Amino acid sequence: MLHKRRSRVAARRQPRAPVFAALGDETRLSLVAKLCAGQPYSISQLTKGSKLTRQAITKHLRVLENAGLVRNIHAGRESRFEFDPKPVEELRKYLDLVSGQWDQALSRLKSFVEG
């Protein structure tokens, strides 16, 4: 039976970690793209077919995990990583919100200078 447990890092959810910065790297983007498919992968599976070493992949996964983009799931003795879409969604919602506030402010500016 699968026993899921969030890693300590993910449980703390470090909200201050910059999601954009974590995504601003080719290797990490490709890892996220792979994990986006929905199924969790082990480090070995993620290393297979990559030019990078297991250590390098692990390091990139930790960066993603610290940004809350990836979760480490432990199933028995096995450790797998899965994608967590929440930070990306929240980031987009936040930008949409700030953007909407500008729309309102600029429409007030328009009435102000044209009136």
Partner 1 sequence: MNNQIEKRIELKAPVSRVWRALTDYREFGQWFRVKLDGPFVPGQTARGQITYPGYEHVKWEAVVQKMEPERLFSFTWHPYSVDSKIDYSKETPTLVEFRLETTSNGTLLLLTESGFDKIPTDRRLEAFRRNDGGWTEQMKNIENHVAQTS
Nearer to partner 1, 36 or 95 (CB): 95
Do 62 and 79 form a contact (C-beta atoms < 8 A)? no
Which residue type occupies 99?
A: S
Calpha distance 47→70 (Å, rounded): 16
Do 15 and 21 form a contact (C-beta atoms < 8 A)? no
The site for partner 1 (CB under 8 A) is made up of: 13, 15-16, 18-21, 23-24, 68, 87-88, 90-106, 108-114
Calpha distance 4→75 (Å, rounded): 6
Nearer to partner 1, 21 or 36 (CB): 21
What's the token pair of residue 109? 């500016």
Nearer to partner 1, 56 or 95 (CB): 95
Whole-number minimum distance, CB 85 to partner 1, in Å? 13
Whole-number minimum distance, CB 46 to partner 1, in Å? 22
Whole-number minimum distance, CB 22 to partner 1, in Å? 10
